């Protein structure tokens, strides 16, 4: 026997001892418990909150003790040596030998230990714990368990010393020998039986098991990544003199709605609300609908709080970070390592502020693997939903159900929008179940700046009883007069054709839409932004774009020609014109009333477009904040259309079924497929880019390869599939027989004459 401290893991040829690792994880877990204990009390009561705290600390102290075996230690020093046994089974057995598993605190700790790497139904975990499907195999399982347990003898003295010197472990008797360890099979069986009908969130016991496991995994992951401090405090941000509505909301404790136009100071108001409502290390989730706006908001919050306090979460976070570092270094391995490290740190329960899309929170509620980590972090959270108007009925249904659930777990909510349709506010109010305060820029005691801001006219509506294509001469004339012109079409093919025609008459025409490969789209967006900000000498007279310009570019044009769209989308487009008030007297914005109904019905709800036209202010109307708000309210006065309502109800019921299927210590096997089904697009690789793609794969430059795919809507996917123009590659990527052009993007209606994919 040896008193030598065994290793928890190897890192950069240096070992991290079990003593250090277990103490760091325990300290991290204690910090989590200190921050979250008031919320646990609120949702579960004093008894369960205390048991979670005690169980979490016990689990943190013992979760890796099973690594103190001779075989596991050898496996750390030599990759050739495979130990092939779940160390957490032995860790759990040590605690079971010392305490009664009928004690709720012990049960919480043992369950968290057993499942801090694998789900409860993992076959290897079950076999190593002695829970075998065929009774005849039980003797072999018992023999294997005790053979592995005997390997603890090498470090038994260390185990005893660690146990007897650690609070609160020292209060429990240390087992006499490895032979005294019980096979965890009976505990595992009872746990499975107990959790089989434990539906979240109403079952307090199920919630307690979820929180204990989630917090243990969060602490273990953070420490393993080199993060040993669970941040609870936030620095006080510097803010400009407050406007009346900001002063009001920063004094409010509880849920709230805020209606204020872009540029009025919503972000400052939201942060002050969050800091006012923050109690003891509560996490702040700043939620936006679009990835591009997330990156911009993350930059803003980082300037105010510091990078160590702000994390970014969205599906393309790794791509964003990689591109930034790759441009800086030009070295794939260096850029990948930096980006991976940054993204992994942001995902940890570590940084107090998370900037994300709602999808990053919803995915946990779809029961994705280790969903307990995300749910545990969201308990008692502060949730800021910015641009809440931007979601379709399907996503609103999911958000409403998520709000209901998180409200039961002591979440606090701020919903913000430039325009807030009353029916949407009522849906969210009903989800909260409590009365939320309402704040607006248009308060009675508005200051002079606010009155000036609200009366400012940035746009004058110019209606045209023509199609967008018929306005090409006017577009050209506006550009020739020295204006920078934005043209927005509702369909990609339409934008491509308008671009083709304009470039035959004019230089300085650019095109931007969603069917460019990621690499090209990022390059084009960067060029456009730098040109408009006069940071690069690029001839840019007209930008032809689709809906992507509504959300992806923080830029300002002199005028716009756009096809009609639903009022909220239309106002987003107009927000890219005279955005910073550089034309104090306002500018004309041109809207084409005529459109191809058959094509547009696949893009927008046609009834919503008709209502937008019916309630639109007249020609030459100055579009003030009040006029825009009135327009939105009239269009949405009756709520959603019948079709939209049906979609909302269907999505709501389906998500309720998903939530009812959640069980702690298991992930939902269908959850991943259902979650990714929310994304109404498919990514394809243009065939002509395959040689470059294959070269990247050969060199293991996977992120560079991923930048060569194009997102296409499901309708286009089905069209290509029906025509036999899709081929599934070995790695699961779809290759499309459709030409790709750097200037035009993907051309799915055209066939590459050089190839036919069979």
Q: Where are the domains of the chain?
A: 7-224, 244-448, 457-623, 680-746
Q: Which residues contact 487 (CB under 8 A, 6 or more apart)?
A: 468, 475, 495, 498, 502, 542, 543, 544, 545, 560, 561, 562
Polymer length in residues for the chain: 758
Burial of residue 732, with CB atoms counted within 10 A of its CB: 0-12 exposed, 13-18 middle, 19 or more buried: exposed
List the beta bridge partners of residue 741: 745
3-state SS string over 26-47?
HHHHHHHHHHHHHHHHHHHCHH
Burial of residue 168, with CB atoms counted within 10 A of its CB: 0-12 exposed, 13-18 middle, 19 or more buried: exposed
Q: Which residues contact 239 (CB under 8 A, 6 or more apart)?
A: 268, 271, 272
3-state SS string over 603-631?
CCCHHHHHHHHHCCCCCCCECCHHHHHHH
What distance lies between CA 75 and its chain's CA centroid?
36
Are the folds of 7-224 and 457-623 the same?
Answer: no
- Kindly calculate the radius of gyration of the chain based on its CA atoms and give it in whole angstroms: 29
Query: For residue 476, what are the CA distances in angstroms to 144, 485, 492?
Result: 80, 9, 20
Q: Is the Cβ–Cβ distance between 48 and 208 less than 8 Å?
A: yes
Q: Per-residue pLDDT for 679 more than 80?
A: no
d(CA 6, CA 126): 26
Query: 366-424, pLDDT tens digit by residue?
Result: 888 899 999 999 999 999 999 898 888 999 999 999 999 999 999 999 999 888 888 99
Per-residue pLDDT band at 119 (split at 50, 70, 90): very high
Other beta carbons within 10 Å of 421: 22
Q: Is the Cβ–Cβ distance between 198 and 213 less than 8 Å?
A: no
Query: 194-223, pLDDT tens digit by residue?
Result: 888 777 778 899 999 999 999 999 999 999
Query: 244-272, pLDDT tens digit by residue?
Result: 899 999 999 999 999 988 778 899 999 99
**Residue 361 has what pLDDT?**
93
Phi-psi region of 324 (alpha: psi -120 to 50; beta: other; left: phi over 0): alpha
**Residue 553 has what pLDDT?**
67
The residue-averaged pLDDT of 530-543 equals: 86
Q: Report the CATH fold assignment for 244-448.
A: Rossmann fold (3.40.50)
Helix (H) or strand (E) holding 285: strand 284-287
Q: Is the Cβ–Cβ distance between 32 and 283 less than 8 Å?
A: no
Q: Is the Cβ–Cβ distance between 508 and 541 less than 8 Å?
A: yes
User: Which architecture, in CATH terms, is 457-623?
Assistant: 3-Layer(aba) Sandwich (3.40)
Taking the C-alpha atoms of 167, 171, 177 and 178 in order, what is their torsion angle to the nearest 10 degrees?
-60
Q: H helices within 312-421, ranges in order?
A: 317-329, 332-347, 358-365, 371-378, 393-408
Q: Per-residue pLDDT for 527 more than 50?
A: yes
Q: Is the Cβ–Cβ distance between 467 and 595 less than 8 Å?
A: yes
The residue-averaged pLDDT of 667-676 equals: 67
pTM over 0.85: yes
**Residue 255 has what pLDDT?**
98
Helix (H) or strand (E) holding 440: strand 437-440
Average pLDDT, the chain: 89
Q: Per-residue pLDDT for 500 more than 50?
A: yes
Taking alpha carbons only, the member of 349, 364, 211 closest to residue 281 is 349
Q: Which residues contact 252 (CB under 8 A, 6 or more apart)?
A: 273, 276, 437, 439
Q: Is the Cβ–Cβ distance between 210 and 365 less than 8 Å?
A: no
Query: 715-728, pLDDT tens digit by residue?
Result: 888 899 999 999 99
Q: Which single residue is written with the structure tokens 């606090």?
A: 412
Token pair for 72: 């596991």
Query: 420-444, pLDDT tens digit by residue?
Result: 888 999 999 999 998 899 998 876 6
Per-residue pLDDT band at 79 (split at 50, 70, 90): confident
Q: Is the Cβ–Cβ distance between 254 and 279 less than 8 Å?
A: no
Token pair for 698: 């050969």
**Residue 275 has what pLDDT?**
96
Q: Per-residue pLDDT for 10 more than 90?
A: no
Query: 283-300, pLDDT tens digit by residue?
Result: 999 999 877 678 778 888
Q: Per-residue pLDDT for 316 more than 80?
A: no
The residue-averaged pLDDT of 101-124 equals: 95
Q: Per-residue pLDDT for 106 more than 80?
A: yes
The bridge status of strand 485-488 relative to strand 559-563 is parallel
More confident residue, 539 or 88: 88
Taking alpha carbons only, the member of 572, 90, 657, 606 closest to residue 365 is 657
User: Which architecture, in CATH terms, is 7-224?
Assistant: Orthogonal Bundle (1.10)
Q: What is the phi/psi pair of residue 297, to 5°?
A: -65, -40
């Amino acid at each position: 026997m040896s008193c030598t401290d065994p290793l928890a893991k190897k890192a950069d040829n240096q070992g991290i001892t079990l003593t250090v690792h277990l103490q760091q994880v325990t300290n991290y877990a204690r910090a989590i418990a200190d921050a979250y204990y008031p919320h646990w009390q609120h949702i579960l009561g004093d008894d369960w909150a205390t048991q979670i705290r005690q169980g979490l600390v016990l689990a943190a102290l013992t979760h890796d003790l099973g690594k103190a075996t001779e075989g596991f230690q050898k496996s750390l020093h030599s990759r050739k040596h495979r130990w092939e046994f779940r160390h957490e089974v032995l860790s759990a057995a040590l605690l079971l030998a010392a305490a009664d598993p009928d004690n709720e605190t012990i049960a919480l700790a043992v369950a968290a230990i057993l499942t801090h790497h694998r789900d409860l139904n993992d076959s290897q975990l079950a076999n190593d714990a002695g829970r075998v499907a065929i009774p005849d195999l039980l003797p072999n399982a018992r023999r294997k368990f005790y053979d592995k347990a005997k390997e603890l003898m090498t470090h038994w003295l260390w185990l005893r010393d660690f146990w007897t010197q650690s609070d609160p472990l020292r209060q429990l008797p240390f087992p006499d020998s490895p032979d005294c360890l019980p096979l965890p099979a009976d505990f595992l069986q009872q746990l499975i039986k107990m959790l089989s009908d434990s539906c979240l969130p109403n079952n307090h016991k199920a919630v307690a098991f979820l929180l204990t496991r989630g917090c243990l995994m969060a602490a273990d992951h953070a420490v393993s990544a080199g993060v040993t401090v669970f941040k609870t405090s936030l620095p006080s941000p510097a803010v400009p003199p407050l406007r009346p509505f900001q002063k009001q909301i920063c004094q409010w404790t509880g849920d709230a709605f805020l209606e204020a136009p872009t540029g009025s100071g919503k972000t400052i108001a939201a942060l002050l609300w969050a800091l006012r409502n923050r109690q003891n290390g509560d996490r702040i989730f700043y939620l936006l609908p679009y990835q591009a706006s997330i990156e911009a908001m993350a930059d803003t919050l980082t300037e105010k709080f510091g990078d160590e306090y702000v994390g970014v979460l969205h599906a393309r976070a790794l791509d964003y970070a990689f591109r930034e570092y790759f441009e800086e270094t030009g070295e794939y391995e260096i850029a990948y390592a930096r980006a991976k490290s940054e993204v992994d740190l942001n995902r940890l329960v570590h940084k107090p502020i998370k900037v994300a899309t709602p999808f990053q929170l919803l995915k946990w509620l779809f029961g994705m693997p280790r969903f307990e980590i995300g749910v545990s972090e969201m308990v008692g959270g502060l949730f800021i939903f910015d641009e809440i108007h931007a979601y379709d009925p399907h996503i609103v249904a999911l958000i409403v159900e998520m709000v209901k659930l998180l409200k039961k777990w002591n979440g606090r909510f701020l919903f913000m929008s430039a325009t807030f349709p009353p029916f949407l506010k009522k849906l969210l109010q009903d989800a909260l179940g409590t009365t939320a305060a309402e704040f607006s820029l248009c308060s009675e005691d508005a200051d002079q700046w606010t009155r000036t801001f609200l009366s400012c006219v940035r746009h004058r509506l110019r209606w045209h009883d023509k199609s967008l294509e018929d306005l090409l001469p006017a577009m050209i004339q506006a550009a020739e007069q020295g204006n920078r012109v934005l043209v927005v079409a509702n369909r990609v093919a339409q934008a491509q054709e308008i671009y083709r025609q304009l470039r035959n008459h004019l230089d300085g025409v650019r095109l931007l839409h969603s069917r460019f490969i990621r690499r090209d789209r990022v390059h084009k967006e960067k060029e456009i932004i730098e040109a408009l900000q006069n940071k690069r000498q690029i001839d840019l007279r007209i930008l032809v774009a689709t809906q992507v310009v509504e959300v992806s570019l923080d830029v300002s044009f002199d005028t716009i020609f756009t096809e009609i769209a639903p009022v909220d989308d239309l106002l987003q487009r107009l927000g890219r014109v005279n955005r910073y008030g550089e034309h104090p007297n306002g500018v004309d914005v041109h809207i084409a009333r005529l459109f191809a109904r058959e094509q547009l019905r696949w893009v927008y709800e046609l009834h919503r477009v008709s209502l937008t036209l019916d309630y639109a202010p007249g020609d030459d109307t100055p579009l003030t904040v009040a006029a825009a708000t009135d327009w939105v309210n009239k269009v949405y006065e009756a709520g959603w259309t019948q079709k939209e309502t049906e979609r909302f109800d269907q999505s709501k019921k389906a998500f309720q079924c998903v939530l009812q299927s959640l069980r702690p210590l298991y992930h939902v096997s269908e959850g991943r497929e259902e979650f990714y089904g929310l994304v109404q697009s498919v990514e394809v690789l243009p065939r002509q880019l395959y040689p470059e793609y294959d070269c990247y794969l050969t060199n293991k430059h996977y992120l560079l390869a991923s930048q060569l795919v194009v997102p296409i809507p499901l309708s286009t996917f089905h069209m290509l599939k029906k025509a036999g123009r899709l081929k599934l590659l070995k790695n699961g990527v779809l290759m499309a027989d459709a030409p790709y052009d750097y200037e035009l993007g993907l051309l799915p209606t055209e066939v590459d004459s050089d190839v036919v994919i069979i």
